């Protein structure tokens, strides 16, 4: 009997094992800035090819695995349902994930996820889905958008899914934002931003990038410059925040354009970014002084993460690389592929390491990199995946609070937390729970001018609960700090009406008297909306601000953005003011009025597709290969690719167009009288064995029909001939070479 009891006791002890086998990953090949520690939080076999993560209130990591991406150098099987979304847990509470459970499987290249509204929002091309969560299982799946990612290859499809301070979910590589209110999903146009990854600062401005530009961003809050459907802003959105694209790798990594002159230095080290992605504004509150709201950027092609320091002005954000000659985190491990970064509930920064040998999609994989990857056996680095944690040395480990268990008072108090992740999540839980018990505490918080960040969060909790009041916002404009007052001015727009004109007139007068450039900028964005109810009251304020900031175009664009319904009257009134005639505002209004008369909307509002038979092979190929950079309307994407509409290459020089599609094109370029960046390069399709001469002929037939007034074409026989007309450098024509080859 004793023997039997002993056996039962041993079995019981074994079943209650509190330690777990966790793989030991060496980080000897990694160099991190002094004062910080780097740890492996999760690794294979728990996960494979992670590309995006989010944390739940228990500190568990939800991860999207894109296991089908570049499983070999030919990119086979990427359409197979091999991806999944997992929940990673740390059961023994030692800071390392030791257990994984699959939440969703059989997914095709899942690319983004966000824990919002008590469920999970996730992207699986072409769809955007939302599922509620019950006992860690998906229930009640809803299709949010069936057209979320219908064009482009995996490098050029929408992703990100980030909830901002304003209660809207934003994406990279997309010109739409999303919100769920009272169970109904809303989809609205917004600025198209970046390529892979998106982040926001404490104020609510957005940051993103593309492969060759390490940091882009908006100088203003989202949608403040794009509300006029016929206006296209030239400043303020999609701005390059730093001119410095230099990188400082530890070794001569394998990059896709290493054959190009100037891409590598004399030591075969990459000079400038070619695959920048996954930017993050650090808001964790535990890093040393000087690190708050720094932007970290992933540079996976050379296995590093760089650091940028932001400086904020009333009407702009400026970034500067933290150092010359070194990076924040770098490695000689060519499997280290940081593709995304995340703030954690513990205040640390987390690095999503896809850990794959080849991350260049096969459609753009050059013969140069393909050969090197085969030689170095980079294509054999498969079935790996890691999440790394960066923490400040000497910083005591923070307990991760389970916000789902917090009382109303605790959630409101969490809006003052030093960790932006905690503030953001507390805001969303209060809204999702429809927690009206919080109203007295939230309104009391609005009076605490010593805590402006919590005031901003409180404003948007009240907005999410539909509990904002006009007089409350007026008080914030009068008494709040400029950043808080600016948000209040934006939110006041929801109360624009004839009955509120007299109050708004006094509030705006006092706002102007404060002489705060930031407040003046956001007031400029909203005056046109109020002017619909009384032009005599608000037009003079518009004229005053336009003259005050006559040397700053962003203020003039802000005015036009809010003035869609009153543009003719506004311009007519300016005709009586000599100092505003032929001003930036005058010219912008004239241009935008003309666009409206010709029904030429900003492309982000257009629901029309390019003029072509969508059943043709050329149209399908254009949308799959070209539209992600040139846009489906052919109007181009600022900072990424020039317009095709009106381009002489489309309308006149078809053989040159054939050479460009086949062999590629590198800047600088003169398109429609405008110079495009010399650092941009369009890859050619010459070495893509899946694209035939007939396919390229079809693409040319489509784009000339869609984007010029005289449809033309090149026969496949001519395309075959042009394959042999290679540029001097081997790959990529310059504009000068095109003219020399065939004559302008």
**pLDDT score for 18:** 42
* DSSP 8-state symbol, 400: P
| pLDDT-derived band at 622, boundaries 50, 70, 90 | confident
- Checking if the pLDDT of 84 tops 60, the result is yes
- Checking if the pLDDT of 13 tops 70, the result is no
**Interval 660-671: pLDDT, tens:** 888 888 777 777
| pLDDT-derived band at 672, boundaries 50, 70, 90 | low
Residue 191 to residues 150, 175, 224, Cα–Cα distance (Å): 18, 5, 10
**Interval 130-186: pLDDT, tens:** 999 999 999 999 999 999 988 667 888 899 999 999 999 999 999 999 999 999 999
Sign of the dihedral through C-alpha 694, 696, 697, 701? positive
Joined together, the tokens standing for residue 37 give 């520690």
Q: Other C-beta atoms within 10 Å of 395: how many?
A: 17
The mean per-residue pLDDT over the stretch 332-336 comes to 96
Q: Give the architecture-level CATH label for domain 25-392.
A: 6 Propeller (2.120)
**Interval 434-481: pLDDT, tens:** 999 999 999 999 999 999 999 999 999 999 999 999 999 999 999 999
Q: Indicate the Cα dihedral angle 668, 670, 674, 676, nearest 10°.
A: -20
Joined together, the tokens standing for residue 373 give 């990857």
More confident: 581 or 504? 504
Give the span between the Cα atoms of 143 and 147, in whole angstroms. Answer: 10
Q: SS3 for 670-735, per residue?
A: EECCEEECCCCEEECCCCCCCCCHHHHHHHHHHHHHHHCCCCCCCCHHHHHHHCCCCCCCCCCECH
Q: Indicate the Cα dihedral angle 300, 110, 143, 403, nearest 10°.
A: -70
- Domain 608-742 = CATH 3.40.47.10: no
In terms of Cβ atoms closer than 10 Å to its own Cβ (0-12, 13-18, 19+), residue 152 is buried
Q: Which of 68-82, 138-152, 208-222, 719-733 has the highest mean pLDDT?
A: 208-222
Residue 190 to residues 206, 232, 296, 724, Cα–Cα distance (Å): 12, 12, 24, 43
Give the span between the Cα atoms of 412 and 417, in whole angstroms. Answer: 10
- Checking if the pLDDT of 14 tops 60, the result is no
**Interval 270-329: pLDDT, tens:** 999 999 999 999 999 999 999 999 999 999 999 999 999 999 999 999 999 999 999 999
Are domains 25-392 and 608-742 of this chain identical in fold?
A: no
Helix (H) or strand (E) holding 280, with range, is strand 277-281
**pLDDT score for 659:** 83
- Checking if the pLDDT of 610 tops 50, the result is no
- Checking if the pLDDT of 743 tops 50, the result is yes
- Checking if the pLDDT of 608 tops 60, the result is no
Give the span between the Cα atoms of 628 and 681, in whole angstroms. Answer: 14
Q: Domain ranges for the chain, please list them.
A: 25-392, 468-598, 608-742
**Interval 177-234: pLDDT, tens:** 999 999 999 999 999 999 999 999 999 999 999 999 999 999 999 999 999 999 999 9
């Amino acid at each position: 009997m004793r023997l039997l009891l002993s056996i039962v006791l041993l079995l019981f002890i074994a079943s209650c094992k509190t330690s777990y086998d966790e793989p030991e990953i060496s980080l000897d090949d990694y160099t991190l800035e002094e004062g910080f520690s780097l740890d492996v939080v999760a690794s294979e076999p728990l996960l494979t090819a992670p590309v995006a993560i989010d944390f739940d209130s228990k500190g568990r990591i939800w991860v999207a695995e894109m296991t089908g991406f570049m499983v070999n150098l030919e990119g086979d099987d990427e359409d197979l349902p091999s991806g999944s979304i997992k929940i990673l847990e740390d059961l023994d509470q030692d800071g390392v994930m030791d257990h994984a459970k699959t939440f969703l499987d059989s997914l095709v290249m899942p690319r983004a996820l966000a824990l919002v509204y008590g469920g999970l929002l996730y992207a699986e091309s072409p769809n955007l889905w939302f599922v509620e969560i019950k006992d860690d299982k998906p229930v009640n799946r809803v299709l949010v958008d069936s057209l979320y990612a219908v064009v482009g290859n995996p490098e050029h499809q929408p992703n990100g899914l980030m909830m901002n301070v304003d209660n809207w979910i934003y994406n990279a590589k997309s010109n739409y934002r999303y919100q769920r209110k009272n169970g109904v999903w809303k989809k609205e146009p917004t600025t198209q931003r970046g390529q892979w990854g998106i982040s926001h600062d404490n104020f609510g401005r957005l940051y993103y990038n593309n492969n060759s530009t390490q940091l882009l961003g908006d100088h203003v809050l989202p949608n403040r410059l794009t509300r006029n459907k016929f206006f296209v802003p030239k400043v303020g959105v999609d701005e390059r925040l730093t001119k410095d694209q230099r990188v400082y790798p530890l070794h001569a990594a394998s990059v896709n354009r290493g054959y190009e002159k100037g891409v590598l230095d004399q030591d075969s080290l990459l000079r400038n970014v070619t695959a920048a992605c996954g930017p993050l504004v650090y808001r964790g509150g535990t890093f040393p002084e000087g690190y708050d709201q720094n932007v970290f950027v992933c540079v996976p092609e050379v296995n590093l993460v760089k650091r940028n320091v932001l400086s904020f002005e009333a009407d702009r954000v400026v970034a500067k690389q933290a150092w010359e000659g070194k990076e924040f985190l770098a490695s000689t491990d060519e499997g280290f592929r940081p593709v995304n970064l995340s703030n954690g509930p513990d205040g640390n920064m987390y690095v999503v390491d896809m850990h794959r040998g080849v991350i260049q999609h096969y459609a753009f994989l050059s013969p140069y990199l393909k050969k090197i990857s085969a030689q170095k056996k980079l294509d054999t680095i498969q079935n790996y995946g890691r999440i790394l944690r960066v923490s400040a040395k000497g910083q005591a480990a923070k307990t991760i609070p389970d916000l789902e268990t917090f009382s109303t008072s605790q959630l409101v108090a969490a809006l003052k937390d030093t960790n932006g992740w905690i503030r953001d999540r507390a805001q969303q839980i209060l809204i999702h729970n429809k927690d009206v018990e919080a109203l007295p505490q939230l309104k009391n918080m609005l009076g605490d001018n010593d805590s402006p960040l919590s005031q901003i969060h409180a404003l948007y909790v009240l907005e999410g609960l539909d509990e904002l009041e006009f007089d409350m916002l007026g008080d914030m404009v009068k008494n709040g700090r400029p950043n808080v007052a600016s948000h209040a001015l934006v939110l006041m727009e929801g109360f624009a009406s004839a009955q509120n004109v007299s109050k708004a007139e006094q509030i705006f007068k006092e706002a102007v008297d404060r002489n705060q450039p930031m407040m003046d900028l956001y007031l400029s964005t909203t005056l046109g909306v109020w002017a619909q109810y009384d032009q005599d009251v608000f037009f003079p304020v518009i004229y005053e601000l336009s003259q005050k900031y006559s040397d700053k175009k962003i203020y003039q664009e802000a005015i036009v953005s809010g003035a869609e319904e009153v543009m003719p009257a506004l311009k007519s009134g300016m005709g009586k003011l000599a100092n505003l005639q032929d001003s930036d505002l005058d010219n912008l209004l004239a241009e935008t009025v003309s666009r409206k008369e010709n029904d030429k909307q900003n492309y982000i509002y257009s629901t029309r597709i390019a003029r072509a038979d969508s059943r043709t092979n050329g149209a399908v190929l254009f949308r799959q290969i070209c539209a992600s950079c040139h846009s489906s309307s052919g109007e181009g994407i600022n900072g990424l690719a020039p317009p095709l509409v009106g381009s002489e290459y489309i309308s006149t020089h078809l053989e040159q167009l054939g050479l460009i599609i086949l062999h590629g094109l590198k800047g600088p370029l003169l398109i429609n009288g405008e110079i495009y960046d010399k650092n941009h390069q369009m890859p050619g399709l010459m070495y893509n064995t899946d694209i035939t001469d007939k396919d390229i002929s079809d693409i040319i037939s489509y784009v000339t029909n869609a984007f010029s007034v005289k449809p033309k074409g090149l026969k496949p026989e001519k395309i075959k001939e042009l394959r042999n007309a290679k540029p001097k450098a081997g790959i990529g024509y310059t504009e000068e070479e095109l003219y020399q080859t065939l004559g302008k």
